[in-house]
Amino acid sequence: MFEYEFMQNAMILILIISPLFGLLSTMVLNNRLAYFSDALGHSAYLGIGIGLLLGIATNNVLPVVIFSVLFAVLLVIIKRRYGEAPDTVIGIIASISVAVGIIILTGFGGLQKFSQLLVGDILLVAQNQLLPLAILAIILIIIFLLIYKKLVLISVDESLAKSKNISPVLYEIIFTSMVAITVAMSINIVGILLVSALFILPGAISKMISKNMKQYIIISTISCIILSVIGLIVSYYFSIPTGASIVVCLGIVYIMTLLLVSFKR
Amino acid sequence: MENNSERKIHIAKHNSCGLCCVKINNISVKIDNRIILDDINIHMHCGEITCIIGPNGAGKSTLLKSILGMTKHTGSISYLNKNDDITSKPIIGYVPQKISVEKNIPISVKDVLNIAKIDINNNVYKKVIDILKISDLLNKKMGELSGGEVQKVLIALAMNPFPDILLFDEPIANIDRIGITQVYKIISTLRENFDIAIIVVSHDLESMYNYADNVILMDKKVLKQGSPKEVYDSDEFKKVFEVGDINV
């Protein structure tokens, strides 16, 4: 199957983005940002719409990256302002951006034309984007390794973090921007509908079997890479969307791990 | 007052130099023109446990946040160490009430200590870990600890960088009775072994009577300060806590 160029590109992209999902998902769960990553995923619709208005091709990730980061910063500020119950406001803003995105996309020749964005399409992966994406991924991984300990401390107690001169708002903005960038990088292959699942499943699998931070991060990352590759191969043989295939693979392993862990107890 | 003798023993064991001095000068906080704190002045020395008590809404948490520099306030905090160096930025170790770690998240006690850069082989921290008795907990997950165990880990976290002032926010809010005694004993032991000024905000009037050196009764402003006996016997105390005859 790897004699086809589109499969080579898809495999390279999977190897670029899957470690990111594995790493970020640990802290998404740790800092309770699952809902947040969902909102970010949906907001990408508007990012693509705005990109189209500016005359940029739908498979160019740059406008989505910029828009998603701005959106992430906005969401963090709103979340902070509304204290304990930010989900209403985040929900409203996410749905408005989806709605406006749909309207813009409809204006550009109907939704059907863009339905591939919902579930992803490996044919959208452009070879000339792989190198910039790989560089971006390496930068994100380095930033993650630099900040994850601070994120852990923030998740333990925000005032404690503040007393050690760690700004929870700053790190939350950095981290959600990283989530936003990862969303933008992977929409073409995973699709808007399922991208948030990849921020939850690897961490959730790892959470059940690891005993400390190191194991948690390593198991999450490795299982995400392996299962994403398997997902891609399965999607090729069964001609199904790659995003859905990866999520099902992760889902099966999640359920199996859950059963194993419950039996053991 | 049967616990008075126990109290005297605690004070007699005093080992710290007693020369370092924390001065909290004229701290006031106003939010939307409402006065939350009005001209708070507190002086204390290392090796002393100062307890802040007061009714709900008295501004105790705001005072803690002001000391930590998390709330806008007027006034100043100065710290004079034993070499007579004055600094407006003493190192403050903050011990929060509780943590928000999800039960199943695989963060071990060791992970958290590592993150706070606490070197368990360093002599000072060896002693801290010894006092806290947490060496058996190192491989446990944070979410699996009892309230008292969590509090001990949080105290360890507050010890790096080594603090001039240790701040406790309701240290016993999530702990059972046995844990409470343990935590107060630890606070006393820390006071005896290190040159740290300790501030405790608490509702636990009874324990504070036994363990504090100074008590500050506040309700937006300082109503009364002094030894536990002086404060607990005062009219201000009886008025605030609506007791005719307090029996501790």
Contact flag A29-B105 (C-beta cutoff 8 Å): yes
For an interface test with A, give the residue of B107, B152, B157, B167 to mutate (most A CBs within 10 A).
B107
Domain around A32: 5-195
The string of DSSP letters for A192-211 reads: TTTGGGGGTHHHHHHHHH-S
How far apart, in whole angstroms, are the C-alpha atoms of residue B155 and residue B150?
9
pLDDT value, residue B12: 42
Residues of B with Cβ-Cβ distance to A150 under 8 angstroms:
115
For an interface test with A, give the residue of B95, B109, B115, B157 to mutate (most A CBs within 10 A).
B115
How far apart, in whole angstroms, are the C-alpha atoms of residue B81 and residue B30?
30
DSSP-derived secondary structure letter, B163: P
Which residues neighbour A173 within 8 Å (Cβ) at sequence distance 6 or greater?
Answer: A72, A73, A76
- The residue-averaged pLDDT of A157-180 equals 88
Q: Is B95 exposed, middle or buried (0-12, 13-18, 19+ CB in 10 A)?
A: buried
Residue B187 neighbours by CB distance under 10 Å? 24
Residues of B with a Cβ under 8 Å from any A Cβ are: 65, 68, 70, 92-94, 96, 98-102, 104-108, 110-112, 114-116, 139, 141-142, 154, 157-158, 167, 169
Residues of A with Cβ-Cβ distance to B154 under 8 angstroms:
157, 160
Report helix, strand or coil for B166.
Answer: strand
Confidence of residue B15 (pLDDT cuts 50, 70, 90): low
Residue whose C-alpha is closest to residue B41's, from B218, B212, B201, B198? B218
* % of chain B residues with pLDDT over 90: 5
Contact A34/B at CB under 8 A: no
Confidence of residue A138 (pLDDT cuts 50, 70, 90): very high
Residues of B with Cβ-Cβ distance to A212 under 8 angstroms:
106-108, 110-111, 139, 141
Answer for the pair B213, B177: CB distance below 8 angstroms, yes or no: no
First to last CA, chain A: 42
pLDDT in tens, B89-114: 788 888 887 777 777 889 999 998 98
Residues of B with Cβ-Cβ distance to A30 under 8 angstroms:
102, 105, 107
CATH number (domain holding residue A137): 1.10.3470.10
pLDDT value, residue A170: 92
pLDDT value, residue A149: 92
Higher per-residue pLDDT: A115 or B15: A115
- The residue-averaged pLDDT of A107-129 equals 78
Contact flag B105-A164 (C-beta cutoff 8 Å): no
pLDDT in tens, A60-90: 677 778 888 888 888 888 877 776 566 778 8
Contact flag A159-B96 (C-beta cutoff 8 Å): yes
Q: Which residue has the tokens 């990283």?
A: A178
Contact flag B105-A207 (C-beta cutoff 8 Å): yes
Task: Quote the pTM value.
Answer: 0.82
Contact A211/B at CB under 8 A: yes
| Window from A26-30, A117-121, B217-221 with minimum mean pLDDT | A117-121
Measured between CA atoms, how close is A150 to chain B, in angstroms?
8
* % of chain B residues with pLDDT over 70: 88
Which residues neighbour A147 within 8 Å (Cβ) at sequence distance 6 or greater?
Answer: A171, A174, A175
Q: Which chain A residue lies closest to B109 (C-alpha atoms)?
A: A212
Domains of chain B: 4-13+20-235 (3.40.50.300)
Contact flag A153-B141 (C-beta cutoff 8 Å): no
Q: Which chain B residue lies closest to A146 (C-alpha atoms)?
A: B115
The whole-angstrom distance between residue A48's C-alpha and the CA centroid of its chain comes to 16
Interface list for A 4-33 with B (CB within 8 A)? 29-30, 32
Residue whose C-alpha is closest to residue A183's, from A194, A173, A172? A194
Residues of B with Cβ-Cβ distance to A168 under 8 angstroms:
none
Contact flag B102-A30 (C-beta cutoff 8 Å): yes
pLDDT value, residue A235: 92
pLDDT value, residue B242: 76
Confidence of residue B191 (pLDDT cuts 50, 70, 90): confident
Where would I find the H helices in chain B?
Answer: 4-12, 60-68, 109-115, 123-132, 147-158, 177-193, 205-211, 228-232, 235-241
Strand B165-169 and strand B197-201: the pairing is parallel
- The residue-averaged pLDDT of A95-114 equals 81
Question: Into how many domains does chain A fold?
Answer: 1
pLDDT value, residue B9: 42
pLDDT value, residue B13: 46
How far apart, in whole angstroms, are the C-alpha atoms of residue A131 and residue A129?
6
Contact flag A157-B104 (C-beta cutoff 8 Å): no
pLDDT value, residue B184: 87
Name the residue among B70, B101, B158 with its Cβ closest to that of A155: B101
pLDDT value, residue B1: 41
Strand B197-201 and strand B49-53: the pairing is parallel
Phi, psi angle pair for A165, to nearest 5°: 60, 35
Name the residue among A164, A207, A213 with its Cβ closest to that of B104: A207
pLDDT value, residue B6: 46
Residue B186 tokens, joined = 């630890």
Contact flag B154-A207 (C-beta cutoff 8 Å): no
Q: Which chain B residue lies closest to A206 (C-alpha atoms)?
A: B106
Measured between CA atoms, how close is A64 to chain B, in angstroms?
32
Which amino acid belongs to residue A214? K
Highest-confidence segment of A194-198, A218-222, B54-58, B230-234: A218-222
Answer for the pair A161, A153: CB distance below 8 angstroms, yes or no: yes
Would you say how long chain B is, in residues? 248
Contact flag B68-A149 (C-beta cutoff 8 Å): no
Question: Do the domain assignments include residue A229?
Answer: no
The whole-angstrom distance between residue B179's C-alpha and the CA centroid of its chain comes to 16
Residues of B with Cβ-Cβ distance to A213 under 8 angstroms:
106-108, 111
